[in-house]
Each structure stands twice: as structure tokens, then as C-alpha cells.
Amino acid sequence: MCRSIKTLREPYVPVVTEEDVRAAALQYVRKISGFRAPAAHNAAAFDSAVDAVAAATATLLDQLVVRGQQPATRG
């Protein structure tokens, strides 16, 4: 599932940007919803889901501890 979403934690990515997190969230919501772009009547729900997934992703990355690594730097 979501093969185009790349791993966003060290050691795979030394610096994770907000754009990286948002792109991964967008891909996830597209996959789950089945919509590349939602119809106007679904846009608010779609955008809200992308925001929620991006926030959850950022929280996860901020809290992950990878043995032997310093926490990832998000830019």
C-alpha cells in the first residue's frame, strides 16, 4: 500500500521537511479515499484528513527514538 510514500525517519532521511510530511499525508489520504482530488462537496473532509495525518506523522517522527541515532531534524 502507498508504495510512493517514502520512509521519513533516520537513517533513511537526515532532514524531514514539512513538505515531505504533507506529501506523505496527501498520498495516504488519496489511497484511503480512492480520490486523487475530491469533489467540491468532499474537499473539506479530504483537506481535514490530510491535516490530521500530517499532524500525526509529525508527532510520530518527533517522538521516535532510533537506537544509535540522534533525533531527526525537521526543517
pLDDT tens-digit readout, 16-69? 999 999 999 999 999 999 999 999 999 999 999 999 999 999 999 999 888 776
pLDDT number for residue 74: 61
Q: Is the pLDDT of residue 2 over 80?
A: no
| Cα distance between the two ends of the chain | 27
Which of 26-36 are b and which e, b meaning 16 or more Cβ less than 10 Å from the residue's Cβ? bbbbbeeeeee
| pLDDT of 66 | 80
pTM, two decimals, is 0.81
- pLDDT for position 65: 86
